[in-house]
């Protein structure tokens, strides 16, 4: 579980740096166990006094708290599916976000060169980098 302790800022990768199936499956087992134990805890205990004062206790409030938690987990899943090639292999689900952006740029470069565009010499020494960063529609 060392990847949980990495910084989410910078180049460490945080939770997206999981690189083997054992950690992915073990993480699911770990989270599932924590959620079952948390459910048992909440069934057998009452909220602490500070929590009773801080939160609203109604059906709408419970729903909004649950939706908030689901949105956080959805955001984490979005980040993992965008960057992690172990959880979502390119062979099954298509390229990850970084792979797709680079392959798309290369695809359009090859297409334009076949159409006769002299990309490197026509745009100066930094032209190729700027060409690869442009929008696929040319805008």
Residues 101, 88: Cα–Cα separation, whole Å? 16
User: For each successive 10 residues of the chain (139 residues), what is the average pLDDT?
Assistant: 61 67 86 93 92 87 91 84 74 67 66 69 55 53
Indicate whether 29 and 65 sit together in one domain: yes
22-59 per-residue burial string, b: 16 or more CB within 10 A, e: under 16: ebeeebeeeeeeeeeeeeeeeeeeeeeeeeeeeeeeee
Indicate whether 89 and 112 sit together in one domain: no
**Which structural domain, as residue segments, surrounds residue 104?**
97-132
Angle between helices 59-83 and 97-114 (to 10 degrees): 50
The pTM of the full predicted model, rounded to 2 decimals, is: 0.54
Position 130 scores a pLDDT of 53
87 is a domain residue: yes
115 is a domain residue: yes
Position 55 scores a pLDDT of 84
43 is a domain residue: yes
Query: Where does residue 96 fall: left (phi above 0), alpha (psi -120 to 50 degrees), or beta otherwise?
Result: beta
137 is a domain residue: no
Domain count of the fold of the chain: 2
61 is a domain residue: yes
Structural Rg of the chain based on CA atoms: 23
Indicate whether 11 and 78 sit together in one domain: yes
């Amino acid at each position: 579980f060392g990847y949980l302790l990495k910084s989410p800022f910078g180049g460490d990768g945080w939770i997206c740096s999981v690189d083997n199936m054992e950690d992915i499956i073990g993480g699911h087992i770990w989270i599932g166990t924590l959620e079952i134990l948390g459910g048992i805890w909440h069934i057998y205990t009452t909220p602490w006094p500070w929590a009773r004062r801080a939160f609203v206790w109604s059906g709408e409030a419970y729903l909004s708290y649950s939706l908030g938690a689901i949105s956080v987990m959805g955001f984490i899943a979005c980040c993992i599916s965008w960057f992690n090639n172990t959880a979502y292999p390119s062979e099954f689900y298509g390229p990850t976000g970084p792979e797709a952006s680079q392959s798309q740029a290369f695809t359009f470069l090859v297409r334009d060169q076949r159409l006769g565009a002299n990309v490197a010499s026509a745009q100066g020494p930094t032209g190729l980098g700027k060409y690869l960063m442009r929008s696929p529609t040319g805008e």
